[in-house]
Structure 1
């Protein structure tokens, strides 16, 4: 895995826990006898002090993200927690460092939300924690139960708030044990907490989703909640387009920290979301005022290229797993350099400005008259137009002076046709799904050919850098395999094309 700065966080793991509110006189019930629990360790008491950091308008808290510096206990240091699903969060840690200086590698992971705004102290929590660990027969920690007496202050001049809560965190035990422990606590008088974090409980109504985040939720829910009448949901074309754009912006934000951490497939999926955004703005140009959307095209192309540099090296490294060591080492160096450039770009004001403009597009959509029309009537023509562009590009391959260039343009058009049809699935249903499938097949066949050509170019260049017969032989074998696969993809294209029916709205 690439050795990049943003990945050098000291520790990271998936935290799965449930929280319970408890009265001051609550008595922690006996926890032995639960499934798989062989023994219960003696209670341990810790005094914890945590300072929480956020922007002035609490952008992280609004996303369910917490960033704190905690002293005391067995895991003192900086902790960044990001939602990962029901009852689970990704937790990343860094050493204590300086009290008021957020580690750069943690700050980078939330930069898509802070966008250059200062991270400052927003709250403090003092916790007297009594920890009880449930152990397996081999001594492993199955579940940890933390009984917390909390004193919190939101700001330096705020009156302190006090409460008691119980955290049940899964260790090596099965999820069913987490449920069983919770049942025992509820039977003893505890109740599921109304907030997923101590900070969220303390800040309360001060945490307000941003206008952009709220607008994305509304845009997506409008399509999800639409009433079906047998012909598709009764929504406008603009609503369908905005729901799709909102989903892609959400994907960019979700995969941003994962890409910075070089998590598996994260760069690829972030890049796909960027491409979908750009494609939708092009294919559905009649729906949105081009004066607002046109400037986004070059910026989305720039971001896709930044991500693409990393992704291309990743693909080659995986493709050349059997290549000589010097080839793999060279690709790994290129990949590390590409990651460094990507992370620098994702800290740049240009990236933040693009995110701001995407937010503005959803909050204040520049809909045209076409965007106000019923989606069921308007969308078929727009999808058909995208498909016709793909067919036109395909028809030039045989007569083109540069057939490979024509194939490349056809692949790009197939990708646009696929995304154009994908956007309409909530309205056009089965017919749109078929078009997505057909366009994807064309795209993948052409992609297989193009990937083979690029791979051959890299292998040929590598062969000129070695004088070792064994290495040259291996490179020759790999080149031959890539050539065969590329040729097979090229030969498959006419058959694949003949099997596509095109729109029949």
Structure 2
């Protein structure tokens, strides 16, 4: 993916206006006409456009494909990178190039520009192409807003800056002057850029801002997940869970049924992320707990844990990488882009967030209360407490979303629900650990090795389980107080 320097100037045209003859500057070659359709990408707050960084996917013309344009060293210069049109998603290399500007924000479609272009070459006497002139009739769609305008571009090919100046002199005599906007997308987003300065206290504003943060994590950490960098799988798994949870808790602001299929796909991806992460966490916790065992058994148990869980992690991560190369994963990511770019909302979405969202959160808490009563009726049934934990996670993430809306009270609730989920999460980890230890013990005994060190470790996990459950129930009682 090589970079090239593009040098061009843009000019305003009146409706239907053509460029004057430039034969006095250079020989004019034959004209060609194209229909171009370009989808432009940016963060929801248009931070790339503000930084003069442009990403588009354009069909039509001689250079169709993905384009990334970055500021050059001179006012008329841009650094341009290209990638094939066949890619449906933003090329990962493009995101890496603008990572500092994005600062973790997601990249989504923000505008579609359809352009009817008339292009003409300007040539030297020996036939070398010096520059290209374009007259464009542009129709831009930004959300529900439509606008159109006419403009001209002059791009250097084999000429120099002095040629641009001579062309500009001829254009000025014809009443054609430089455009204020340095790019088409800058002009198309003019109103949207102003609107982002306004506070959005609507229900959709709060929910979409939270969802955008999570989609940003998935996009930002994608390469790190594939290469299994530390904490990347964990962060992506949490973001996926948050997306799925919030889409369920606050489904009431979306058109009926529009998020159900997306939640199903998010669950699939969370499971793919979960397998390597669970093996990693279990390995760390079990190895850390070896200090509580008699010295004689530590080596044997430690070797078995290390070998079994390292293999489980490697196998699960390989499966995760394979899943992220599928059409199903690509479709999920494209659907997340559309969730932010063109959410299907109902009338309730425009109402104030503090009025609309709190009752939806209360419904999530009511569900936890029901499951708590069900589990308390048979406190030894750990599967019931696991269901409580999953519902408590929805309450935790629901409260997390409300912090910017409701302030300190929501932060207190979030912290209380976090305490619940951390304690019950430790309980569930101990349940899984006991199962893995049992499998390791069975294989060890089959090989003629002693079972006692494994039993000691399993007994220690039983203590962790009981303590975590007790702590989780106490935290739950506090969280359910209001």
User: Is 1:252 aligned to residue 218 of structure 2?
Assistant: yes
For the 8 Å contact 1:324–1:471, the answer to whether it is kept is no
Match among 463, 473, 476 for residue 455 of structure 2: 476
Aligned residues: 328
Q: Distance in 2 between matches of 1:370 and 1:388?
A: 21
Match among 261, 270, 279 for residue 304 of structure 1: 270
SS of structure 1 residue aligned to 2:429:
helix
User: Is 1:388 aligned to residue 366 of structure 2?
Assistant: yes
Name 1:65's counterpart in structure 2: 94
Name 2:405's counterpart in structure 1: 427
For the structure 1 residues 384 and 344, does the alpha-carbon distance in structure 2 shift closer, same or farther, using more than 3 Å as the test? same
Match among 79, 83, 90 for residue 54 of structure 1: 83
Name 1:348's counterpart in structure 2: 326
Name 2:232's counterpart in structure 1: 266
SS of structure 2 residue aligned to 1:466:
helix
For the 8 Å contact 2:89–2:334, the answer to whether it is kept is no
Q: Distance in 1 between matches of 2:400 and 2:160?
A: 50
For the structure 1 residues 399 and 296, does the alpha-carbon distance in structure 2 shift closer, same or farther, using more than 3 Å as the test? same
Larger radius of gyration: 2
Name 2:342's counterpart in structure 1: 364
Q: Distance in 1 between matches of 2:159 and 2:402?
A: 50
Name 2:280's counterpart in structure 1: 314
Q: Distance in 1 between matches of 2:265 and 2:83?
A: 28
Name 1:282's counterpart in structure 2: 248
Unpaired runs of 5+ residues, structure 2, are: 1-70, 110-154, 162-180, 291-300
Q: Distance in 2 between matches of 1:341 and 1:453?
A: 24
Deviations 1:389-412 (A, max 9, x none): 111111111224972111011000
For the structure 1 residues 431 and 401, does the alpha-carbon distance in structure 2 shift closer, same or farther, using more than 3 Å as the test? closer
Deviations 1:458-499 (A, max 9, x none): 001101111478764432332222111111112223322333
SS of structure 2 residue aligned to 1:465:
helix
Write out aligned runs for 1:38-53 (5 A): none
Write out aligned runs for 1:80-229 (5 A): 82-83=97-98, 85=100, 159=157, 227=199
For the structure 1 residues 420 and 60, does the alpha-carbon distance in structure 2 shift closer, same or farther, using more than 3 Å as the test? closer
TM-score (norm 2): 0.60
Following TM superposition, by how much is the alpha carbon of 1:326 offset from its aligned partner in structure 2, in angstroms? 2.9
For the 8 Å contact 2:423–2:468, the answer to whether it is kept is yes
For the structure 1 residues 226 and 472, does the alpha-carbon distance in structure 2 shift closer, same or farther, using more than 3 Å as the test? farther
For the 8 Å contact 2:420–2:473, the answer to whether it is kept is no
Deviations 1:23-51 (A, max 9, x none): 9xxxxxxxxxxxxxxxxxxxxxxxxxx99
For the 8 Å contact 2:240–2:266, the answer to whether it is kept is yes
For the 8 Å contact 2:369–2:480, the answer to whether it is kept is no
Following TM superposition, by how much is the alpha carbon of 1:449 offset from its aligned partner in structure 2, in angstroms? 0.8
Following TM superposition, by how much is the alpha carbon of 1:413 offset from its aligned partner in structure 2, in angstroms? 0.6
Name 1:498's counterpart in structure 2: 477
Q: Distance in 2 between matches of 1:355 and 1:239?
A: 21
Unpaired runs of 5+ residues, structure 1, are: 1-18, 24-49, 67-80, 90-111, 114-156, 164-203, 228-233
For the 8 Å contact 2:365–2:392, the answer to whether it is kept is yes
Q: CA RMSD in A?
A: 3.9
Following TM superposition, by how much is the alpha carbon of 1:268 offset from its aligned partner in structure 2, in angstroms? 0.9
For the structure 1 residues 429 and 226, does the alpha-carbon distance in structure 2 shift closer, same or farther, using more than 3 Å as the test? farther
